[in-house]
Homo-oligomer: A and B are copies of this chain.
Amino acid sequence: MSRFLSKNYESLVPYTPGEQVNVKVIKLNTNESPFPPSPKVKAVLSEEVIDKLNLYSDPELKELRNAIAEQFGVTSDMVFCGNGSDDVLAFAIMGFCGRGGKLCCPEISYGFYPVYADIFGVELEQIPLKDDFSIDVNDYIGKNKNIVIANPNAPTGLALSFEDVEKIVSSNPDNIVIMDEAYMAFCGESCMELVKKYGNLLVTRTFSKSHSLAGLRVGFGIGSKEIIDDLNKLKYSFNPYNLNTLSIKAAAAAIADNEYYDDKIAKIVETREKTTVQLKELGFNCTDSKSNFIFASSDKIPASVLAAKLREKGILIRYFNEPKIDNYLRITVGSAEDMQTLVDSIKEIIAEV
C-alpha cells in the first residue's frame, strides 16, 4: 500500500477471481461455457467495424439495449448494460445503498457482495442458509433492508421459486431487491416478468455463462425506468463509455441468436444431470443445481485433497476454504467429454485413497 491511499480503503480485502491459466488443462473452475460463442459474433466483428474503432462507442448503447429489451419483452429504457454484471452490481449497491446504508445477502453466496459492501461503506448483514444450503425465504420477508440474492445461488446451485421471489420483492416495497440471475439460463425460474409489476426490483444477468462470452465482459440489469435512470446517472459520472464498440455489437448479435444458445444450454443441462448421477453413484452428495456447475461433497475424501489430486491430473475445479462449505467442491459443467474425464479421474483417486 502506498502512503497516499485514503483510510476509507486501508482495510479493503478485494475479491479473488478464480485462477486463469495458460497451460493445457481441463478448466472447470470459473463457470465458463465449454462452447465457443455464436458464429454470429464472429460475423459482426468485421474488418469494417474494427477500422471504425477510431470513433467513440455509443455511450447510450442503443443497439445492445434494444436487442436485450426485445428478448425480454421490456422497453430499452428498462435496460442498463455494464462491463460485466459485476459493473451493474457495483453501481447498484453503490447507488441504492449509499454510504452507511443497509444491505443483506445470504451468508454463503457470491463472494463479491461483501467486497462491494466494504468498498462502498455499506453495512452488510449476511444471513445464514438452512442446513441443506437452501435460502429460508422467511428471512427476507419484510426485511426493511436492501437485498441482493443470487438466484440460482452460487456456489450451492440452489434456486428460489418464482413465488418465493415475489414474496421477497412485494414485502420490501421501500427497499431495492437485486436478483442476480447470472446462472438463470440453466433452468431456474426467472423473476424477470416481475420488473413490470414492482418498481423496487432489479434483475441482473450476464453474457459470461450462458452466452459463452466471459472474455467479452458484458452484463445487464433490467428494472423500472426510474431505477435504470439512476444507474445511468452514476455511469455517466464514472465511466460514460463503459462498453466498447466490439462488446456492444458482439453481445447484440449473441442475445438474438436463441437457436444457437438454446441448443448449447440444453447440452450443458443434460451433461450436468448425467454427471450428477455419476457422482452420486460414487457416493457424492450433490445439491439440486439449477446452474452450470455442480456443488458436491464426499465422505470418502476431503474436498481439499480431491481438488489437489485433480489438479495434479490437470483438472481445475474450485475449492473454497471457508466455514460450512470447506468439504464441498464447485465443479463447472464442461463438455460431455471433459466431464467423463473428470468422473474417471475421481474414480481413480478414490480407488487410491
Binding site for B on A (CB under 8 A): 1-9, 12-18, 20, 27, 30, 32-37, 41-42, 45, 47, 50-59, 83-84, 86-87, 90, 94-99, 101, 115-116, 118-119, 175-176, 199-200, 208, 212-217, 224, 226-227, 229-230, 232-247, 250
Instruction: Tell me, in angstroms, the Cα distance from A36 to B54 when the chains sit together.
Output: 6
Q: Are A99 and B99 in contact (CB under 8 A)?
A: yes
Q: Are A17 and B59 in contact (CB under 8 A)?
A: yes
Q: Are B234 and A217 in contact (CB under 8 A)?
A: no
Q: Are B15 and A236 in contact (CB under 8 A)?
A: yes
Q: How often does this chain occur in the complex, in copies?
A: 2
Q: Are A2 and B230 in contact (CB under 8 A)?
A: yes
Residue of B nearest to A90 (CB): B238
Q: List 17 A-B contacts (CB under 8 A).
A: A2-B224, A4-B200, A6-B99, A9-B95, A9-B230, A14-B233, A15-B237, A16-B236, A17-B240, A20-B56, A20-B58, A30-B56, A32-B54, A32-B55, A53-B212, A119-B234, A215-B244
Give chain B residues whose Cβ lies under 8 Å from the Cβ of A212: 53-54
Could you say which of B36, B55, B242 contacts A52, with CB atoms under 8 Å apart? B36
User: Provided the pairs A32-B56, A236-B14 are in contact, do residues A229 and B101 lie with their beta carbons within 8 angstroms?
Assistant: no
Nearest Cβ on chain B to A196's Cβ, whole angstroms: 15
Looking at chain A's contact residues, the main secondary structure is: loop
Give chain B residues whose Cβ lies under 8 Å from the Cβ of A98: 6-9
Nearest Cβ on chain B to A155's Cβ, whole angstroms: 16
Instruction: Tell me, in angstroms, the Cα distance from A227 to B6 when the chains sit together.
Output: 12
Give 3 closest A-B pairs by Cβ, nearest first: A6-B98, A14-B236, A2-B226
Give chain B residues whose Cβ lies under 8 Å from the Cβ of A213: 53-54
Q: Are B17 and A241 in contact (CB under 8 A)?
A: yes
Residue of B nearest to A232 (CB): B14
Could you say which of B6, B17, B215, B247 contacts A97, with CB atoms under 8 Å apart? B6
Q: Are A53 and B30 in contact (CB under 8 A)?
A: no
Instruction: Tell me, in angstroms, the Cα distance from A98 to B101 when the chains sit together.
Output: 18
Q: Are A90 and B239 in contact (CB under 8 A)?
A: yes
Give chain B residues whose Cβ lies under 8 Å from the Cβ of A54: 32-37, 212-215
User: Provided the pairs A1-B226, A244-B215 are in contact, do residues A96 and B239 lie with their beta carbons within 8 angstroms?
Assistant: no
Q: Are B17 and A214 in contact (CB under 8 A)?
A: no
